[in-house]
Amino acid sequence: MTIEQMKMPQLGESVTEGTISKWLVKPGDSVNKYEAIAEVMTDKVNAEIPSSFTGVIKELKAAEDETLAVGEVICSIEVEGSETQANETIHSEDKNEETTQVVAGDVSISKARYSPAVLKISQENGIDLHQVKGTGKEGRITRKDLLKLIESGNIPKAAERKSASNQPSVSVPELKQGSLQTTQAPAIHTAVGDIEIPVNGVRKAIAANMQKSKHEIPHAWMMVEVDATNLVRYRESIKQEFKQKEGYNLTYFAFFVKAIAQSLKEFPEINSMWAGDKIVQKKDINISIAVATDTALFVPVIKHADEKTIKGIAREITELAQKVRSGKITSDEMQGGTFTVNNTGSFGSIQSMGIINHPQAAILQVESIVKRPVIIDGMIAVRDMVNLCLSLDHRILDGLVSGRFLARVKEIIETTTPENTTIY
């Protein structure tokens, strides 16, 4: 029999880790290939992990609520195969792990077994792994061990053991610009009546992705004021008939998404991503929309939004939002986004600055439509006004193209009338 290792899969773009929310199997259970073995949470999706093999579960290497990096082993499974092959496989794995060279602080660590997550955290925090006692199998150091040390503030540094060690020191290569730092949580005094809320896997993943975006992307911000009076009048005149005919609401947001998709087609520079030594201008216009639940934020994607009608976009917004809030959204429906639109106006916001959905180039906040007095031809009039707020990656975009893009969205919204706007 051969022992195979099941690893944490990548469940979405820019997803680097996942949290085991529930095991669906236990050691000794027989499973078939593609049968679900665990439920996993990330910042983008809740999903089931299918087995890559048919066999018997030997060991669960992660506990429920434990977060593991993509590629880290989550369980082992015994599958059919010769004993010789099994021994060769295990020996090869052990040899590869034991010859891993890692620099933590200023000490070279070798002949040890460390997961990618453990290596990353130790390097970013200067933790001397020689001084850490692991709680994993056979004394293996786990991610949880390091996080507990960081939280306690008692981090064993390499400098603390220099005098007692005859090993030559090795300088630490600097972290690449944009590397996500794992920062020590500040000590906060709690008083009677304070409520401590544990940070779950989804919230941790959201925090990590937002921190990565702010660390790596030089954000710039701009806003335009849009007169949406014609849009408001048009929608009010058809919304009841549309609801009766289609069975779902014709929202303002659908008009904005359509206008943005059309503008992205005209200004493809906005529909781009930073790739280090090059900028990738995406052909497809796939708009990520922010959908919030009581505890998390998800970004499902409207694929090929420029090819859809306002009715089609309205239907897709409704369906995706329902799937998110019922926990039925799939990994595929969360991937492939090229530009994000956030309907901040749904909760009354009139001005905000969004954090870009890494690795996209921009995010646009559609604020609340409010009645305001404005001057038209020297006269004061009450109009339905809305702010469109754009956060942009200044490595990719500058003010000129971003301003032209916003001006085009503004023009489309302000000329939304029955004569030049079709719903179907």
Q: What is 168-179 written as a DSSP string? A: PB-PPPPPPTTP
pLDDT band at 81 (very low <50, low <70, confident <90, very high): low
- Measuring CA to CA, which residue among 155, 163, 170, 98 is closest to residue 124? 155
Average pLDDT over residues 73-91: 64
The full DSSP string for 66-99 is -EEETT-EEEEEEES--HHHHHHHHHHHHHHHHT
Average pLDDT over residues 110-137: 71
Using CA atoms, how far apart are residues 178 and 160, in angstroms rounded to an integer? 28
**φ and ψ at 299, to 5 degrees?**
-130, 75
Average pLDDT over residues 234-253: 96
Q: Catalytic pick from 94, 284, 332, 398?
A: 398
Tens of pLDDT, residues 389-422: 999 999 999 999 999 999 999 999 999 999 999 9
Per-position b or e across 352-373, b if 16+ CB within 10 A of its CB: eebbbbbbbbbbbbbbbbeeee
Mean model confidence pLDDT for the chain: 83
Q: Catalytic pick from 130, 219, 304, 394?
A: 394
Residue 49 has pLDDT above 80, yes or no: yes
219 or 205: whose pLDDT is higher? 219
Tens of pLDDT, residues 153-174: 778 776 544 443 444 433 333 3
Contact yes or no for 76/5 (Cβ under 8 A)? yes
Tens of pLDDT, residues 270-302: 999 999 889 999 999 999 999 988 777 889 999
Q: Is 306 a catalytic residue?
A: no
Count the residues in the chain.
424
**φ and ψ at 287, to 5 degrees?**
-95, 120
Q: Are strands 362-366 and 73-79 parallel, antiparallel or unpaired?
A: unpaired
The full DSSP string for 276-315 is SSSEEE-SS--EEE-EE-SS-EE--EETTGGGS-HHHHHH
pLDDT band at 114 (very low <50, low <70, confident <90, very high): low
pLDDT of res. 182: 45
Query: How many other C-beta atoms lie within 10 A of the C-beta of residue 100?
Result: 13
Tens of pLDDT, residues 326-362: 888 888 898 899 999 999 999 899 999 999 999 999 9
Residue owning tokens 């975006």:
213
pLDDT band at 67 (very low <50, low <70, confident <90, very high): confident
pLDDT of res. 274: 93
Output the CA torsion sign for 398, 399, 404, 410: positive
Q: Is 394 a catalytic residue?
A: yes
Q: Which residues pair with 104 in a beta bridge?
A: 107
pLDDT of res. 419: 94
pLDDT band at 102 (very low <50, low <70, confident <90, very high): very low
62 or 366: whose pLDDT is higher? 366
Burial of 85 (0-12, 13-18, 19+ CB in 10 A): exposed
Using CA atoms, how far apart are residues 23 and 60, in angstroms rounded to an integer? 9
Average pLDDT over residues 106-110: 37
Start-to-end CA distance of the chain, whole Å, equals: 60
Task: Kindly provide the residue ranges of all beta strands, DSSP E only, lying in 133-253, ordered along the sequence.
Answer: 219-227
Burial of 408 (0-12, 13-18, 19+ CB in 10 A): middle
Query: Cα–Cα distances in Å, from 69 out to 42, 53, 267?
Result: 11, 21, 37
